Amino acid sequence: MSEAAPSRLSPAIIATIITIPVMVIVAFITYAVIKTDDKTSADTPLKAMSAPESSSPDCAALIAALPETFDGFGKKTTSDDGMVSWPPGNQVPGPVQLRCGVERPESLSPTSGLQVVDPVQWFLVPATTEDPGFLWYAVDHRPYVAIWLPENVGNGPIQQISQLIDEHLPTAPIDLGN
C-alpha cells in the first residue's frame, strides 16, 4: 500500500489567507481614526471668523452667563480668541460653538428670511456640503453673535442662547445692508 504524499498549499493561497485578515484589520482601524477625527474636529466656519467686538463688556457678560454644558455635550471651553465651544457627546457629530462680537453677515439682505427663536431673530446662513451643521447669526442684538450647531442637535442650545442674548445684549434694529 502506498501512502499519499501530503498536499502543499500554493504560495498564492497562503498569501491570500494572510492578506485578507490584515486588510480587514487595517480597514477597521482606518475607519475608526477617520470617524474620531470627524467627530472631534473644531474646524467650523466660526474658527476663521473675525470678531472685532469680542472683547466688549457685553460679550464678556454673555460669555460668562453661558451654560457649562448642553444636553449631550461636554463642558464649555473658551479659547484665547474668544470662541466658546462645547465638545460633542456620543450622539452628535460635532461641537456647538459660539462667537460674540462678529461682523454683520454679508449675505443678510432685505430678502433674507429670518427665524425667531423667542425672543431673538436669527439669520441662517445656508450650509455647504462640506460643513455638517448650521451657522446662525443673532441679528437683532448687538454685538452680533454667531453660533454653529451640528446636524441633529435639536433646538435646546439655540433656545438657551437666545434667552441669554436677550438678557445680556442690547436690542438693535436689523441692519439689512441697504
Residue 45 grid coordinates: 466656519
Residue bearing cell 453677515: 105
Phi-psi region of 101 (alpha: psi -120 to 50; beta: other; left: phi over 0): left
pLDDT at 132 (0 to 100): 81
pLDDT at 22 (0 to 100): 62
Note down pLDDT in tens along the chain; length 178 residues.
556 666 787 877 777 777 776 666 655 565 555 554 444 445 788 988 999 999 999 999 999 999 999 988 999 999 988 899 999 987 777 899 999 999 999 999 999 999 999 999 999 997 666 778 899 999 999 999 999 998 888 899 999 999 999 999 999 999 988 7
Residue 19 grid coordinates: 492578506
Residue 153 grid coordinates: 442637535
* Long-range contact set of residues 80-89: C-beta below 8 Å, sequence gap at least 24: 81/51, 81/54, 82/51, 82/54, 82/55, 83/46, 83/47, 83/51, 85/42, 86/157, 87/40, 88/39, 88/40, 88/150
